[in-house]
Structure 1
Amino acid sequence: MVMMKATWVSVFALAAVLLLVLLPAAEAVTCSPMQLSPCAAAITSSSPPSALCCARLKEQKPCLCGYMRNPSLRRFVSTPNARKVSNHCRLAIPRC
C-alpha cells in the first residue's frame, strides 16, 4: 500500500514537472500577417529569405492556414516564391 502511494506521488510530481516545462512552449501565437514583413522581399522577388524571415515564419506556422484562407493574403502565401521561402527556411507548408 505504501509503495503504491509513493508511485502515485512520483507520477503526479513527474506530471507537474512536465507541465511546467511544456507550458511555455504551448503559448498561443498571436496571428499577425505583419509579423511576416521581413519575408516580403523574398516572397515578391527571388532574393533569399533572411534569418529573421525564417524565424518569423516558424513562429507564425500555426497561422498559415488562416492566411491561406484569407483572399487578401492567399496571393502572397500560396505563390511559388512563398514555397521557395518555406523550403529555404526548412518549414513544411501545412495541409489546410
Structure 2
Amino acid sequence: MLVVMALQLLVAELVVGVAQSKAVTCEPTQLMSCLKPILNGTPPPSKCCRKLKEQKPCMCRYMKDPSLAKYVKSPGAKKVAKACHVTP
C-alpha cells in the first residue's frame, strides 16, 4: 500500500513537471525583431528580448548553421544579448 502511494506521488510529480516545462520550437525567424538592433546597434525592443529568451536553447544549433552563425556570433548580437540579460 505504501509503495503504491509513493509511486502515485512520483507519477504526479512527473506529470506536473512535464506540464510546466515548455517545449521550444527552434525557429530563427522568431528573432526577426532582433535583426535591426544586431545590425544597427540600436536598443532591442522588449519583443526581441522575450523571443531571445525563448530561443536561448536553440543558440548552439544556430551557431552551427553557416547562414545564421555570422549574426549569432557578431558583436551586435552580443550587445543585444547583454541588453536583454541573456547569457550566451
Bin the TM-score by the shorter chain.
0.7 to 0.9
1:33-44 aligned within 5 A: 33-44=28-39
Distance 1:64 1:50 in 2: 19
Q: TM-score, normalised by structure 1?
A: 0.79
The unaligned stretches of length 5 or more in structure 1 are: none
User: TM-score scaled by structure 2?
Assistant: 0.86
- Counterpart of 1:63 (choices 58, 80, 87) is 58
Structure 1 residue 50 corresponds to structure 2 residue 10: no
Percent identity between the two aligned chains: 41
- Structure 1 runs (4+) greater than 6 angstroms displaced: none
Measured after TM superposition, the shift of residue 29 of structure 1 is 1.6
Q: Number of residue pairs matched?
A: 88
Deviation, 1:19, is: 1.6
- Superposed CA RMSD in Å reads 1.6
The 3 A distance-change label for structure 1 pair 32 and 10 is same
State the structure with more CA Rg. Answer: 1
Once the two structures are TM-superposed, the CA of residue 25 in structure 1 deviates from its matched residue by 3.7
- Asked if 1:76 is matched to 2:71, the reply is yes
- Unpaired runs of 5+ residues, structure 2, are none
